[in-house]
Structure 1
Amino acid sequence: MTKISNAEMERIAREEVPAVGQYGVRFDEIGDGTARAVLPYQEDFLRPGGTVSGPVMMGLADVVVYACVLSRIGIVKLAVTTSLNANFLRRPKPADLIAEGRLLKCGKRLAYGEVTLFSAGEEDDPVCHVTATYSIPPEEQR
């Protein structure tokens, strides 16, 4: 059973992760340890050469892993990223970004997940693969 709704996660993204939330990230689905989000395309995302910038993709992936973690442990705002690794697989087209994430492990102190990003309309050909670790604070610090 998921411990956070799509609407709650969108609010958290806007208020607590404004670098991504301000761009209108939309969560389509949050399950137990999974999340799917869409980041509507904006021309501000482009870097020279007409490609969506890496920081935009990494920010989206990070907030999707955060949603995966919160879906499992509930709203714990002090859960934070401790590492994030992005592998850019191909140049994304100027389109909405779709991110599908899942937890691979969620313990008492650490959670580890992955996110695959796609350009809208090309969900069979990923543009980026991200892995991330989150630190979960002990119960008494939540």
Structure 2
Amino acid sequence: MKFSKVFILSACCMIMLSACAGVTPKTAKKVDKTAKETYVERKSPFFDGIIIASTNNPCIDQFTFIRGNKIDVYKNYSADYAKIGDGYRFLNVNQHIMGKEAKDVYTMQLDLKLDTLCSKAHYTSYQIVKEKMRNLTNI
């Protein structure tokens, strides 16, 4: 009798201890390498460069991209952006004394100019990438 009690007690202890042990799932899936992992593996001093962080504003990101590749175009776009910024400052300073219609029309005009400038920057960025790709075809 004593032997069976010891056996049952030890069996229960083993079951309880094994339940506490970390169990790995049997359905573990093989994870493919991400682009980041592949990049890190291939990383060499030849491919290193300065990484520019995104501002989460697509228009400003396009400006930053253009600044690094076509400085003359960037200067023109930057001057236009400053003029639009001056327009928004004028609107903020005078919005309480302007008529509603004048304020609405001026705001629409500024928004249109800003959207147009951002579209130009986006297209210019595309042209830069297209030119870089064309340069790679000769290799």
Q: Normalising by structure 1, what TM-score?
A: 0.27
* Greater helix share, structure number: 2
More strand per residue: 1
Q: Which one has a bigger Cα radius of gyration?
A: 2
